[in-house]
Structure 1
């Protein structure tokens, strides 16, 4: 009698050219060979993420986690215009936020 196998997060037999799945199906690495396509794909995902975060901040403007992610998105995109304002908004709510203080120092350093 064959025992059923436990389900995995991903199909380990997936032979996709974009996904590398480990043997147990728990880890997936996105592998897009063309760096230009990869960069556009990542920027598109982050831009959509930014829209969602803006909507969440309309509902709850003082949520520190959402404020942090709102600041992280342009930081990851290396778009520093307006990032300083996002960091300061986070620091207004949580003045000792270590991540925001560190990123603010990076922004100041890069602008010098």
Structure 2
């Protein structure tokens, strides 16, 4: 796990093919304060999710596109739901069946892109 309270948005994801343990609930909770307050940690600490709300379709599309561009750059891909007025982004690391540092790095980078 990366050092607590480091600049997550300044880091780069590392390829994850499994073989490492998912972050514990305590480790995930310790990283949450470094993200925008709208990120939610699943009760079982298996994913983090942020729901973006807008007054129209275009901003939902732009946010979805930003998340997709980021995912492509970092080679770490979230689950995204979007429609008129909303975009929901969920990060988890499927290879470890839970959360990894990569999820928090991408969430922090997305916060930076959308201006929190």
Higher RCO (Cα < 8 Å, 6 or more apart): 2
Q: Which has the higher helix share?
A: 1
Between structure 1 and structure 2, the one with the greater Rg is 1
Q: Which has the higher strand share?
A: 2
